[in-house]
Amino acid sequence: MRELLLLDGDAEEAGWQERALCAQTDPEAFFPEKGGSTREAKKVCLTCEVRGDCLEYALMNDERFGIWGGLSERERRKLKKRAV
């Protein structure tokens, strides 16, 4: 029973990803080459209804690459430092 509950929780957690606007756009925009522009990805994030869930996921899972919740890796690192 406990395993079933964990699986259900994982499914609920991942539900926000299905509603994310980035799932409907070019994934390469969210993982630009070093020094590449993040402008397009961040523009998509601005109007995304699950932006907060996305950022929370990235912070909790220590995502080191890409744009998550409208923030770059550097911006997420700064945010984490301020929270400590």
Per the annotation, binding residues are 22, 45, 48, 54
Name beta bridge partners: 68. Answer: 71
Which residues sit in the known binding site for [4Fe-4S] cluster? 22, 45, 48, 54
Q: Rounded CA gap, 45 and 23, in Å?
A: 11
- Cα–Cα nearest to 21, from 69, 56, 77: 69
